[in-house]
Structure 1
Amino acid sequence: MLNPQRSLPELPKMSTASQLERAVLEEEFNWLLKEEVHAVLKQLQDVLKEASRRFSMPTPGLENQLKQENFILGSSTMDQVKGVLTLQGEALTQADINLKVAKSSQVLHFQFREDKQWKLQQIQDARNHVNQALQLLSSHDESYHFKSGAEVNKLMDAVMLQLTRARNRLTTPASMTLPELAASGLMNFKPAGSSVLHNPGAMFELNNNRFEVSHVHKVECVVPWLSDTLVFFTISLQLCQQLKDKISVFSSFWNYRPF
Protein backbone atom coordinates (compact mmCIF):
# COMPACT_ATOMS: atom_id res chain seq x y z
CA MET A 1 0.00 0.00 0.00
CA LEU A 2 1.46 3.28 -1.04
CA ASN A 3 1.57 6.24 1.37
CA PRO A 4 1.38 9.40 -0.71
CA GLN A 5 3.53 12.18 0.73
CA ARG A 6 1.91 15.53 1.33
CA SER A 7 3.48 18.33 -0.64
CA LEU A 8 3.90 21.85 0.75
CA PRO A 9 2.01 24.58 -1.09
CA GLU A 10 4.21 26.69 -3.31
CA LEU A 11 4.47 30.30 -2.06
CA PRO A 12 4.14 32.98 -4.71
CA LYS A 13 7.33 34.84 -5.39
CA MET A 14 7.63 38.48 -4.46
CA SER A 15 6.94 40.57 -7.51
CA THR A 16 9.49 43.03 -8.82
CA ALA A 17 7.13 45.86 -7.95
CA SER A 18 6.82 44.61 -4.36
CA GLN A 19 10.59 44.32 -4.05
CA LEU A 20 11.02 47.86 -5.31
CA GLU A 21 8.33 49.18 -2.97
CA ARG A 22 9.96 47.46 0.00
CA ALA A 23 13.39 48.82 -0.93
CA VAL A 24 12.04 52.36 -1.17
CA LEU A 25 10.29 52.09 2.20
CA GLU A 26 13.36 50.64 3.86
CA GLU A 27 15.42 53.53 2.52
CA GLU A 28 12.87 56.06 3.83
CA PHE A 29 12.73 54.31 7.19
CA ASN A 30 16.52 54.33 7.52
CA TRP A 31 16.52 58.05 6.71
CA LEU A 32 13.88 58.55 9.41
CA LEU A 33 16.01 56.74 12.00
CA LYS A 34 19.23 58.48 10.99
CA GLU A 35 18.10 62.03 10.23
CA GLU A 36 14.55 62.94 11.21
CA VAL A 37 14.65 61.37 14.68
CA HIS A 38 17.65 63.48 15.62
CA ALA A 39 16.01 66.60 14.18
CA VAL A 40 13.00 66.00 16.44
CA LEU A 41 15.23 65.34 19.45
CA LYS A 42 17.00 68.65 18.82
CA GLN A 43 13.66 70.47 18.53
CA LEU A 44 12.45 68.87 21.76
CA GLN A 45 15.60 69.94 23.59
CA ASP A 46 15.20 73.53 22.41
CA VAL A 47 11.57 73.69 23.57
CA LEU A 48 12.28 72.08 26.95
CA LYS A 49 15.31 74.28 27.60
CA GLU A 50 13.03 77.26 27.10
CA ALA A 51 10.55 75.71 29.53
CA SER A 52 13.31 75.06 32.07
CA ARG A 53 14.42 78.69 31.94
CA ARG A 54 10.91 79.74 32.98
CA PHE A 55 11.44 78.09 36.36
CA SER A 56 14.09 80.70 37.28
CA MET A 57 16.53 78.25 38.87
CA PRO A 58 18.42 80.34 41.46
CA THR A 59 22.21 80.46 41.48
CA PRO A 60 23.57 79.12 44.79
CA GLY A 61 24.15 82.04 47.12
CA LEU A 62 22.26 84.46 44.88
CA GLU A 63 18.66 83.42 45.64
CA ASN A 64 17.76 86.96 46.74
CA GLN A 65 18.51 88.26 43.23
CA LEU A 66 15.45 86.50 41.81
CA LYS A 67 12.72 88.92 40.79
CA GLN A 68 9.77 89.20 43.15
CA GLU A 69 6.36 89.04 41.48
CA ASN A 70 3.09 90.12 43.08
CA PHE A 71 -0.16 88.36 42.19
CA ILE A 72 -3.69 89.34 43.19
CA LEU A 73 -5.94 86.56 44.44
CA GLY A 74 -9.32 86.45 42.77
CA SER A 75 -12.51 84.48 42.36
CA SER A 76 -15.35 84.75 39.88
CA THR A 77 -17.97 83.55 42.38
CA MET A 78 -17.42 85.44 45.64
CA ASP A 79 -15.44 88.20 47.33
CA GLN A 80 -15.02 86.77 50.83
CA VAL A 81 -11.27 86.38 50.31
CA LYS A 82 -8.98 89.03 48.88
CA GLY A 83 -5.24 89.32 49.00
CA VAL A 84 -1.85 89.61 47.37
CA LEU A 85 0.85 86.94 47.12
CA THR A 86 4.54 87.54 46.44
CA LEU A 87 6.31 84.82 44.44
CA GLN A 88 10.09 84.70 44.19
CA GLY A 89 11.20 81.82 41.98
CA GLU A 90 9.64 78.71 43.47
CA ALA A 91 8.87 80.24 46.88
CA LEU A 92 5.99 82.29 48.23
CA THR A 93 7.80 84.89 50.29
CA GLN A 94 4.88 87.07 51.40
CA ALA A 95 1.12 86.83 51.68
CA ASP A 96 -1.38 89.49 52.70
CA ILE A 97 -4.91 88.08 52.92
CA ASN A 98 -8.23 89.53 54.10
CA LEU A 99 -11.08 87.15 54.97
CA LYS A 100 -14.64 88.36 55.42
CA VAL A 101 -16.40 86.24 58.02
CA ALA A 102 -19.66 84.70 56.80
CA LYS A 103 -22.86 86.37 58.11
CA SER A 104 -20.78 89.14 59.63
CA SER A 105 -19.05 92.33 58.62
CA GLN A 106 -15.89 91.30 60.48
CA VAL A 107 -12.73 91.07 58.38
CA LEU A 108 -9.81 88.92 59.46
CA HIS A 109 -6.30 89.81 58.26
CA PHE A 110 -3.54 87.22 57.79
CA GLN A 111 0.13 87.49 56.80
CA PHE A 112 3.07 85.12 56.41
CA ARG A 113 5.68 85.24 59.11
CA GLU A 114 8.51 87.48 57.89
CA ASP A 115 11.14 84.84 58.64
CA LYS A 116 9.37 82.07 56.70
CA GLN A 117 8.92 81.12 53.05
CA TRP A 118 6.57 78.61 51.48
CA LYS A 119 8.51 76.45 49.02
CA LEU A 120 6.11 75.33 46.30
CA GLN A 121 6.92 71.65 45.95
CA GLN A 122 4.90 71.30 42.75
CA ILE A 123 7.18 73.78 40.96
CA GLN A 124 10.29 71.98 42.20
CA ASP A 125 8.88 68.62 41.08
CA ALA A 126 7.86 69.93 37.64
CA ARG A 127 11.33 71.39 37.10
CA ASN A 128 12.94 68.08 38.10
CA HIS A 129 10.77 66.17 35.60
CA VAL A 130 11.76 68.61 32.83
CA ASN A 131 15.44 68.12 33.67
CA GLN A 132 15.02 64.34 33.57
CA ALA A 133 13.39 64.61 30.14
CA LEU A 134 16.32 66.73 28.92
CA GLN A 135 18.79 64.13 30.23
CA LEU A 136 16.97 61.40 28.31
CA LEU A 137 17.11 63.44 25.10
CA SER A 138 20.78 64.38 25.48
CA SER A 139 21.79 60.73 26.04
CA HIS A 140 21.55 60.18 22.26
CA ASP A 141 23.79 62.62 20.37
CA GLU A 142 23.75 63.12 16.59
CA SER A 143 26.31 60.37 16.03
CA TYR A 144 24.06 57.75 17.62
CA HIS A 145 22.21 55.51 15.15
CA PHE A 146 18.85 54.19 16.27
CA LYS A 147 18.52 50.54 15.29
CA SER A 148 14.73 50.19 15.28
CA GLY A 149 11.44 51.99 15.57
CA ALA A 150 10.85 50.24 18.89
CA GLU A 151 13.98 51.89 20.28
CA VAL A 152 12.72 55.32 19.25
CA ASN A 153 9.28 54.63 20.73
CA LYS A 154 10.84 53.55 24.01
CA LEU A 155 12.71 56.86 24.25
CA MET A 156 9.61 58.86 23.32
CA ASP A 157 7.52 57.01 25.93
CA ALA A 158 10.11 57.78 28.64
CA VAL A 159 10.21 61.48 27.68
CA MET A 160 6.42 61.73 27.50
CA LEU A 161 6.11 60.15 30.95
CA GLN A 162 8.32 62.86 32.47
CA LEU A 163 6.44 65.63 30.64
CA THR A 164 3.05 64.27 31.69
CA ARG A 165 4.19 64.11 35.31
CA ALA A 166 5.51 67.67 35.11
CA ARG A 167 2.23 68.94 33.63
CA ASN A 168 0.14 67.09 36.21
CA ARG A 169 2.14 68.53 39.12
CA LEU A 170 1.37 72.05 37.92
CA THR A 171 -2.27 71.53 36.99
CA THR A 172 -3.30 69.37 39.99
CA PRO A 173 -1.03 70.29 42.93
CA ALA A 174 -1.56 68.41 46.18
CA SER A 175 -3.18 70.28 49.08
CA MET A 176 -1.34 70.54 52.38
CA THR A 177 -2.85 68.93 55.44
CA LEU A 178 -3.25 70.94 58.64
CA PRO A 179 -0.35 69.04 60.28
CA GLU A 180 1.89 69.82 57.27
CA LEU A 181 0.91 73.49 57.32
CA ALA A 182 1.52 73.69 61.06
CA ALA A 183 4.89 71.94 60.72
CA SER A 184 5.96 74.44 58.05
CA GLY A 185 5.93 77.24 60.63
CA LEU A 186 4.29 79.63 58.18
CA MET A 187 1.56 80.47 60.66
CA ASN A 188 1.31 80.18 64.42
CA PHE A 189 -1.32 77.49 64.90
CA LYS A 190 -1.38 73.76 65.50
CA PRO A 191 -3.84 71.14 64.20
CA ALA A 192 -5.99 68.90 66.33
CA GLY A 193 -5.95 65.34 65.01
CA SER A 194 -5.12 64.63 61.38
CA SER A 195 -7.83 66.62 59.63
CA VAL A 196 -7.21 67.54 56.02
CA LEU A 197 -6.93 71.18 55.07
CA HIS A 198 -9.95 72.55 53.16
CA ASN A 199 -12.39 70.02 54.66
CA PRO A 200 -15.22 71.51 56.76
CA GLY A 201 -15.02 70.10 60.26
CA ALA A 202 -11.21 70.23 60.45
CA MET A 203 -9.95 71.42 63.84
CA PHE A 204 -6.99 73.64 64.74
CA GLU A 205 -5.75 75.78 67.59
CA LEU A 206 -4.59 79.39 67.40
CA ASN A 207 -3.40 81.42 70.38
CA ASN A 208 -4.72 78.76 72.74
CA ASN A 209 -8.17 78.96 71.16
CA ARG A 210 -9.76 75.98 69.42
CA PHE A 211 -11.36 76.50 66.00
CA GLU A 212 -13.30 74.42 63.52
CA VAL A 213 -13.35 74.92 59.74
CA SER A 214 -16.95 75.75 58.83
CA HIS A 215 -16.64 77.11 55.29
CA VAL A 216 -14.24 76.65 52.40
CA HIS A 217 -13.27 79.44 50.02
CA LYS A 218 -11.06 78.90 46.98
CA VAL A 219 -9.20 81.74 45.31
CA GLU A 220 -6.74 81.62 42.44
CA CYS A 221 -4.20 83.75 40.64
CA VAL A 222 -2.69 83.39 37.18
CA VAL A 223 1.10 83.05 36.98
CA PRO A 224 1.95 83.86 33.33
CA TRP A 225 5.33 82.09 33.20
CA LEU A 226 3.77 78.89 34.53
CA SER A 227 1.10 79.14 31.84
CA ASP A 228 3.88 79.48 29.23
CA THR A 229 5.54 76.36 30.65
CA LEU A 230 2.34 74.34 30.23
CA VAL A 231 2.22 75.42 26.57
CA PHE A 232 5.81 74.17 26.09
CA PHE A 233 4.81 70.83 27.65
CA THR A 234 1.90 70.51 25.22
CA ILE A 235 4.10 71.30 22.20
CA SER A 236 6.71 68.76 23.33
CA LEU A 237 4.13 66.01 23.88
CA GLN A 238 2.74 66.67 20.39
CA LEU A 239 6.23 66.38 18.84
CA CYS A 240 6.80 63.07 20.62
CA GLN A 241 3.44 61.68 19.49
CA GLN A 242 3.95 62.80 15.88
CA LEU A 243 7.27 60.93 15.75
CA LYS A 244 5.64 57.83 17.22
CA ASP A 245 2.87 58.07 14.60
CA LYS A 246 5.46 58.11 11.78
CA ILE A 247 7.14 55.04 13.25
CA SER A 248 3.72 53.38 13.41
CA VAL A 249 3.14 53.92 9.68
CA PHE A 250 6.26 51.93 8.81
CA SER A 251 5.53 49.30 11.45
CA SER A 252 2.10 48.64 9.94
CA PHE A 253 3.75 47.97 6.57
CA TRP A 254 6.27 45.48 7.97
CA ASN A 255 3.43 43.60 9.68
CA TYR A 256 1.40 43.35 6.44
CA ARG A 257 2.43 40.78 3.84
CA PRO A 258 0.24 40.82 0.72
CA PHE A 259 2.57 38.41 -1.09
Structure 2
Amino acid sequence: MVVIGVDRSALSELSKMSAASQAERAVLEEEFNWLLKEEVHAVLKQLQDILKEASRRFSVPTPGMEGQLKQENFILGSSTMDQVKGVLTLQGDALTQADINIKVAKSTQVMHFTFREDKQWKLQQIQDARNHVNQALQLLSSRDESYHFKTGAEVNKLMDAVMMQLTRARNRLTTPASMTLPELASTGLMRMFTPPMPGDVMVNLYINLSKLCLTVYQLHVLQPNTTKNFKPAGSSVMHNPGAMFEVNNTKFEVSHVHKVECVVPWLNDTLVFFTISLQLCQQLKDKISVFSSFWNYRPF
Protein backbone atom coordinates (compact mmCIF):
# COMPACT_ATOMS: atom_id res chain seq x y z
CA MET A 1 0.00 0.00 0.00
CA VAL A 2 1.33 3.41 -0.95
CA VAL A 3 0.59 6.15 1.59
CA ILE A 4 0.37 9.61 0.13
CA GLY A 5 1.50 12.25 2.58
CA VAL A 6 -0.70 15.26 3.22
CA ASP A 7 0.92 18.69 3.36
CA ARG A 8 -0.76 20.13 6.42
CA SER A 9 0.60 23.63 5.76
CA ALA A 10 -0.95 23.59 2.27
CA LEU A 11 -4.30 22.52 3.70
CA SER A 12 -4.04 25.30 6.26
CA GLU A 13 -3.40 27.86 3.53
CA LEU A 14 -6.35 26.55 1.49
CA SER A 15 -8.55 26.81 4.56
CA LYS A 16 -7.47 30.41 5.14
CA MET A 17 -8.07 31.27 1.49
CA SER A 18 -11.52 29.68 1.66
CA ALA A 19 -12.35 31.62 4.81
CA ALA A 20 -11.10 34.84 3.21
CA SER A 21 -13.14 34.11 0.09
CA GLN A 22 -16.24 33.49 2.19
CA ALA A 23 -15.65 36.70 4.13
CA GLU A 24 -15.20 38.66 0.91
CA ARG A 25 -18.34 37.07 -0.49
CA ALA A 26 -20.26 37.98 2.67
CA VAL A 27 -19.12 41.60 2.38
CA LEU A 28 -20.05 41.74 -1.28
CA GLU A 29 -23.43 40.21 -0.60
CA GLU A 30 -24.07 42.76 2.12
CA GLU A 31 -23.07 45.58 -0.23
CA PHE A 32 -25.28 44.19 -2.98
CA ASN A 33 -28.28 43.90 -0.67
CA TRP A 34 -27.73 47.52 0.35
CA LEU A 35 -27.60 48.46 -3.33
CA LEU A 36 -30.92 46.71 -4.00
CA LYS A 37 -32.61 48.10 -0.91
CA GLU A 38 -31.26 51.66 -0.73
CA GLU A 39 -29.30 52.89 -3.74
CA VAL A 40 -31.69 51.60 -6.40
CA HIS A 41 -34.57 53.53 -4.82
CA ALA A 42 -32.39 56.63 -4.48
CA VAL A 43 -31.67 56.49 -8.22
CA LEU A 44 -35.35 55.89 -9.04
CA LYS A 45 -36.27 58.95 -6.96
CA GLN A 46 -33.64 61.03 -8.76
CA LEU A 47 -34.92 59.84 -12.14
CA GLN A 48 -38.50 60.69 -11.20
CA ASP A 49 -37.52 64.20 -10.13
CA ILE A 50 -35.65 64.85 -13.39
CA LEU A 51 -38.41 63.43 -15.61
CA LYS A 52 -41.11 65.34 -13.75
CA GLU A 53 -39.21 68.48 -14.71
CA ALA A 54 -39.08 67.27 -18.32
CA SER A 55 -42.81 66.50 -18.24
CA ARG A 56 -43.53 69.93 -16.82
CA ARG A 57 -41.79 71.49 -19.84
CA PHE A 58 -44.23 69.57 -22.05
CA SER A 59 -47.23 70.67 -20.00
CA VAL A 60 -50.55 70.87 -21.82
CA PRO A 61 -53.69 72.66 -20.61
CA THR A 62 -56.62 70.82 -19.08
CA PRO A 63 -59.97 71.23 -20.88
CA GLY A 64 -61.36 74.69 -20.29
CA MET A 65 -57.98 75.97 -19.05
CA GLU A 66 -56.28 76.60 -22.42
CA GLY A 67 -55.57 80.21 -21.48
CA GLN A 68 -53.37 79.00 -18.61
CA LEU A 69 -50.65 77.75 -20.97
CA LYS A 70 -48.09 80.36 -21.97
CA GLN A 71 -47.87 81.42 -25.60
CA GLU A 72 -44.35 81.83 -26.93
CA ASN A 73 -43.47 83.75 -30.08
CA PHE A 74 -40.47 82.66 -32.12
CA ILE A 75 -38.94 84.78 -34.87
CA LEU A 76 -37.58 82.71 -37.74
CA GLY A 77 -35.20 84.26 -40.21
CA SER A 78 -31.64 85.47 -40.54
CA SER A 79 -29.82 88.69 -41.19
CA THR A 80 -28.09 87.17 -44.23
CA MET A 81 -31.14 85.71 -45.95
CA ASP A 82 -34.44 87.52 -46.21
CA GLN A 83 -36.25 85.27 -48.70
CA VAL A 84 -38.26 83.80 -45.83
CA LYS A 85 -39.18 85.39 -42.52
CA GLY A 86 -41.77 84.33 -40.03
CA VAL A 87 -43.18 84.55 -36.55
CA LEU A 88 -44.61 81.34 -35.08
CA THR A 89 -46.62 81.17 -31.86
CA LEU A 90 -46.12 77.96 -29.88
CA GLN A 91 -48.47 76.98 -27.08
CA GLY A 92 -47.55 73.62 -25.56
CA ASP A 93 -47.51 71.15 -28.44
CA ALA A 94 -49.45 73.32 -30.91
CA LEU A 95 -48.58 76.16 -33.25
CA THR A 96 -51.55 78.48 -32.72
CA GLN A 97 -50.49 81.32 -35.03
CA ALA A 98 -48.13 81.80 -37.94
CA ASP A 99 -47.16 84.91 -39.86
CA ILE A 100 -44.91 84.12 -42.83
CA ASN A 101 -43.39 86.31 -45.54
CA ILE A 102 -41.92 84.66 -48.63
CA LYS A 103 -39.98 86.64 -51.23
CA VAL A 104 -40.46 85.07 -54.63
CA ALA A 105 -37.19 84.07 -56.31
CA LYS A 106 -35.93 86.52 -58.97
CA SER A 107 -38.68 88.98 -58.06
CA THR A 108 -39.42 91.78 -55.61
CA GLN A 109 -42.83 90.29 -54.86
CA VAL A 110 -43.41 89.28 -51.22
CA MET A 111 -46.17 86.81 -50.36
CA HIS A 112 -47.74 87.02 -46.92
CA PHE A 113 -49.54 84.14 -45.20
CA THR A 114 -51.09 83.61 -41.77
CA PHE A 115 -52.87 80.70 -40.11
CA ARG A 116 -56.63 80.70 -40.46
CA GLU A 117 -58.30 81.78 -37.22
CA ASP A 118 -60.04 78.40 -36.85
CA LYS A 119 -56.83 76.39 -37.28
CA GLN A 120 -53.84 75.36 -35.19
CA TRP A 121 -51.09 72.91 -36.09
CA LYS A 122 -50.29 70.10 -33.65
CA LEU A 123 -46.60 69.17 -33.52
CA GLN A 124 -46.78 65.38 -33.30
CA GLN A 125 -43.10 65.16 -32.34
CA ILE A 126 -43.73 67.07 -29.10
CA GLN A 127 -46.87 65.04 -28.35
CA ASP A 128 -45.02 61.74 -28.84
CA ALA A 129 -41.97 62.81 -26.81
CA ARG A 130 -44.22 63.88 -23.93
CA ASN A 131 -46.08 60.56 -24.04
CA HIS A 132 -42.81 58.60 -23.84
CA VAL A 133 -41.65 60.68 -20.85
CA ASN A 134 -44.94 60.00 -19.06
CA GLN A 135 -44.63 56.26 -19.79
CA ALA A 136 -41.13 56.30 -18.27
CA LEU A 137 -42.56 58.03 -15.18
CA GLN A 138 -45.28 55.39 -14.89
CA LEU A 139 -42.65 52.64 -14.98
CA LEU A 140 -40.66 54.33 -12.22
CA SER A 141 -43.68 55.02 -10.00
CA SER A 142 -44.68 51.34 -10.23
CA ARG A 143 -41.80 50.55 -7.86
CA ASP A 144 -42.25 52.76 -4.79
CA GLU A 145 -39.90 52.84 -1.80
CA SER A 146 -41.64 49.92 -0.09
CA TYR A 147 -40.88 47.62 -3.03
CA HIS A 148 -37.95 45.26 -2.49
CA PHE A 149 -35.90 44.32 -5.54
CA LYS A 150 -34.72 40.72 -5.20
CA THR A 151 -32.25 40.43 -8.09
CA GLY A 152 -30.07 42.58 -10.29
CA ALA A 153 -31.90 41.22 -13.32
CA GLU A 154 -35.10 42.79 -12.02
CA VAL A 155 -33.40 46.19 -11.74
CA ASN A 156 -31.86 45.85 -15.20
CA LYS A 157 -35.23 44.98 -16.70
CA LEU A 158 -36.76 48.16 -15.26
CA MET A 159 -33.81 50.30 -16.38
CA ASP A 160 -33.99 48.86 -19.91
CA ALA A 161 -37.71 49.67 -20.12
CA VAL A 162 -37.16 53.25 -18.87
CA MET A 163 -34.19 53.75 -21.21
CA MET A 164 -36.24 52.55 -24.16
CA GLN A 165 -38.93 55.18 -23.47
CA LEU A 166 -36.35 57.93 -23.00
CA THR A 167 -34.50 56.98 -26.18
CA ARG A 168 -37.77 57.05 -28.11
CA ALA A 169 -38.61 60.46 -26.62
CA ARG A 170 -35.22 61.84 -27.60
CA ASN A 171 -35.40 60.35 -31.08
CA ARG A 172 -38.77 61.98 -31.74
CA LEU A 173 -37.16 65.39 -31.19
CA THR A 174 -33.85 64.69 -32.91
CA THR A 175 -35.19 62.85 -35.95
CA PRO A 176 -37.96 64.60 -37.92
CA ALA A 177 -40.16 62.42 -40.10
CA SER A 178 -39.01 61.78 -43.66
CA MET A 179 -41.67 62.62 -46.23
CA THR A 180 -42.01 62.44 -49.98
CA LEU A 181 -42.94 65.68 -51.74
CA PRO A 182 -46.41 64.35 -52.71
CA GLU A 183 -46.98 63.46 -49.03
CA LEU A 184 -45.96 66.97 -48.04
CA ALA A 185 -48.29 68.45 -50.67
CA SER A 186 -51.24 66.50 -49.23
CA THR A 187 -50.70 67.29 -45.54
CA GLY A 188 -53.25 69.30 -43.63
CA LEU A 189 -50.57 71.95 -43.11
CA MET A 190 -51.07 73.13 -46.69
CA ARG A 191 -54.70 73.96 -45.85
CA MET A 192 -53.85 75.98 -42.73
CA PHE A 193 -53.14 79.31 -44.41
CA THR A 194 -54.99 82.38 -45.51
CA PRO A 195 -54.74 83.30 -48.27
CA PRO A 196 -54.33 79.71 -49.52
CA MET A 197 -50.82 78.73 -50.56
CA PRO A 198 -50.37 78.92 -54.36
CA GLY A 199 -49.71 75.70 -56.23
CA ASP A 200 -46.02 76.49 -56.69
CA VAL A 201 -45.21 76.90 -52.97
CA MET A 202 -45.06 74.25 -50.23
CA VAL A 203 -44.05 74.55 -46.58
CA ASN A 204 -43.08 72.16 -43.81
CA LEU A 205 -42.88 72.78 -40.04
CA TYR A 206 -41.05 70.41 -37.70
CA ILE A 207 -38.78 70.04 -34.67
CA ASN A 208 -35.10 69.20 -35.10
CA LEU A 209 -33.27 68.79 -31.78
CA SER A 210 -34.24 71.94 -29.88
CA LYS A 211 -35.11 73.98 -32.96
CA LEU A 212 -38.43 74.90 -34.53
CA CYS A 213 -37.86 74.72 -38.29
CA LEU A 214 -39.73 76.13 -41.27
CA THR A 215 -38.81 74.95 -44.77
CA VAL A 216 -40.26 76.61 -47.87
CA TYR A 217 -40.16 74.97 -51.30
CA GLN A 218 -40.68 76.99 -54.47
CA LEU A 219 -41.66 74.87 -57.44
CA HIS A 220 -42.04 75.07 -61.17
CA VAL A 221 -44.16 72.89 -63.43
CA LEU A 222 -42.30 70.55 -65.77
CA GLN A 223 -43.51 70.84 -69.36
CA PRO A 224 -44.51 67.58 -71.09
CA ASN A 225 -41.57 67.80 -73.49
CA THR A 226 -39.08 67.98 -70.57
CA THR A 227 -40.34 65.02 -68.54
CA LYS A 228 -38.51 62.23 -70.35
CA ASN A 229 -35.81 62.28 -67.63
CA PHE A 230 -38.37 62.53 -64.83
CA LYS A 231 -37.18 60.76 -61.67
CA PRO A 232 -39.42 61.14 -58.60
CA ALA A 233 -37.58 61.98 -55.37
CA GLY A 234 -37.86 59.61 -52.42
CA SER A 235 -38.51 60.37 -48.75
CA SER A 236 -36.41 62.98 -46.99
CA VAL A 237 -36.57 65.42 -44.10
CA MET A 238 -35.45 68.15 -46.49
CA HIS A 239 -35.45 68.01 -50.29
CA ASN A 240 -32.89 69.77 -52.46
CA PRO A 241 -33.41 71.93 -55.54
CA GLY A 242 -33.88 69.69 -58.58
CA ALA A 243 -36.04 67.15 -56.73
CA MET A 244 -38.98 66.05 -58.88
CA PHE A 245 -42.44 64.77 -58.00
CA GLU A 246 -45.92 64.36 -59.42
CA VAL A 247 -49.29 65.41 -57.96
CA ASN A 248 -52.64 65.08 -59.76
CA ASN A 249 -50.95 64.19 -63.05
CA THR A 250 -48.80 67.34 -62.93
CA LYS A 251 -45.04 67.02 -62.66
CA PHE A 252 -43.07 69.51 -60.58
CA GLU A 253 -39.44 70.29 -59.86
CA VAL A 254 -38.14 72.06 -56.76
CA SER A 255 -36.47 75.28 -57.90
CA HIS A 256 -35.59 76.91 -54.57
CA VAL A 257 -35.44 75.76 -50.95
CA HIS A 258 -35.30 78.09 -47.95
CA LYS A 259 -34.99 76.97 -44.33
CA VAL A 260 -35.26 79.18 -41.26
CA GLU A 261 -35.21 78.07 -37.64
CA CYS A 262 -35.20 79.22 -34.04
CA VAL A 263 -34.11 77.57 -30.77
CA VAL A 264 -36.90 76.65 -28.33
CA PRO A 265 -35.12 76.87 -24.94
CA TRP A 266 -37.39 74.44 -23.07
CA LEU A 267 -36.86 71.79 -25.75
CA ASN A 268 -33.14 72.17 -25.17
CA ASP A 269 -33.78 71.63 -21.44
CA THR A 270 -35.67 68.40 -22.10
CA LEU A 271 -32.86 66.99 -24.25
CA VAL A 272 -30.43 67.66 -21.38
CA PHE A 273 -32.82 65.92 -18.96
CA PHE A 274 -32.98 62.89 -21.29
CA THR A 275 -29.17 62.68 -21.45
CA ILE A 276 -28.76 62.89 -17.66
CA SER A 277 -31.51 60.31 -17.07
CA LEU A 278 -30.04 57.84 -19.57
CA GLN A 279 -26.64 58.21 -17.90
CA LEU A 280 -28.13 57.51 -14.46
CA CYS A 281 -29.85 54.38 -15.76
CA GLN A 282 -26.64 53.12 -17.37
CA GLN A 283 -24.56 53.83 -14.24
CA LEU A 284 -26.96 51.77 -12.14
CA LYS A 285 -26.78 48.91 -14.66
CA ASP A 286 -22.96 49.12 -14.55
CA LYS A 287 -22.98 48.76 -10.74
CA ILE A 288 -25.22 45.70 -11.02
CA SER A 289 -22.83 44.15 -13.54
CA VAL A 290 -19.88 44.58 -11.15
CA PHE A 291 -21.60 42.31 -8.61
CA SER A 292 -22.79 39.83 -11.21
CA SER A 293 -19.18 39.31 -12.31
CA PHE A 294 -18.43 37.93 -8.82
CA TRP A 295 -21.46 35.64 -8.80
CA ASN A 296 -21.85 34.67 -12.41
CA TYR A 297 -23.53 31.46 -11.34
CA ARG A 298 -26.25 33.41 -9.53
CA PRO A 299 -29.08 35.00 -11.56
CA PHE A 300 -28.46 38.73 -11.26
Q: Same fold (TM over 0.5)?
A: yes
Cα 1:184–1:129 shift into 2, 3 Å:
farther
Q: Which residue is 2:259 aligned to?
A: 218
Q: Which residue is 1:233 aligned to?
A: 274
Aligned-partner residue type, residue 51 of structure 1? A
Higher strand share: 2
Q: Which residue is 2:244 aligned to?
A: 201
Unaligned segments of structure 1, at least 5 residues: 1-11
Q: Which residue is 1:127 aligned to?
A: 130
> Residue 216 of structure 1: SS of its match in structure 2?
strand
Normalising by structure 1, we get a TM-score of 0.83
Conserved? CA contact 2:37–2:148, under 8 Å: yes
Cα 1:46–1:20 shift into 2, 3 Å:
same
Aligned-partner residue type, residue 221 of structure 1? C
Report which stretch shifted further, 76-85 or 87-96: 76-85
Q: Which residue is 1:113 aligned to?
A: 116
**C-alpha deviations, 1:88-136, integer Å up to 9, x for none?**
1111011111112222222222211121000011111001000100000
Conserved? CA contact 2:170–2:271, under 8 Å: yes
Whole-angstrom CA distance in 2 between matches of 1:230 and 1:201: 35
Conserved? CA contact 1:116–1:185, under 8 Å: no
Shift, 1:181, TM fit = 2.1
Cα 1:50–1:88 shift into 2, 3 Å:
same
Shift, 1:18, TM fit = 0.7
**C-alpha deviations, 1:214-253, integer Å up to 9, x for none?**
2221211111111111111111111101101111111112
Conserved? CA contact 2:244–2:251, under 8 Å: no
Whole-angstrom CA distance in 1 between matches of 2:51 and 2:281: 12
Match among 17, 20, 25 for residue 17 of structure 1: 20
Note if 1:154 corresponds to 2:157.
yes
Conserved? CA contact 1:37–1:243, under 8 Å: yes
Q: Which residue is 2:99 aligned to?
A: 96
Cα 1:214–1:28 shift into 2, 3 Å:
same
Match among 79, 87, 90 for residue 87 of structure 1: 90
Conserved? CA contact 2:244–2:252, under 8 Å: no
Q: Which residue is 1:5 aligned to?
A: none
Normalising by structure 2, we get a TM-score of 0.73
Q: Which residue is 1:38 aligned to?
A: 41
Conserved? CA contact 2:245–2:251, under 8 Å: no
Conserved? CA contact 1:178–1:195, under 8 Å: no
Kindly indicate whether structure 1 or structure 2 has the higher relative contact order, using CA contacts under 8 Å at least 6 residues apart: 1
Report which stretch shifted further, 146-155 or 172-181: 172-181
Cα 1:182–1:213 shift into 2, 3 Å:
farther
- Identity of counterpart residues, as a percentage? 81
Cα 1:210–1:21 shift into 2, 3 Å:
closer
Number of residues of Structure 1 aligned to a counterpart in Structure 2: 243
Unaligned segments of structure 2, at least 5 residues: 1-13, 203-220, 222-231
> Residue 288 of structure 2: SS of its match in structure 1?
helix
Whole-angstrom CA distance in 1 between matches of 2:264 and 2:112: 24
Conserved? CA contact 2:94–2:123, under 8 Å: yes
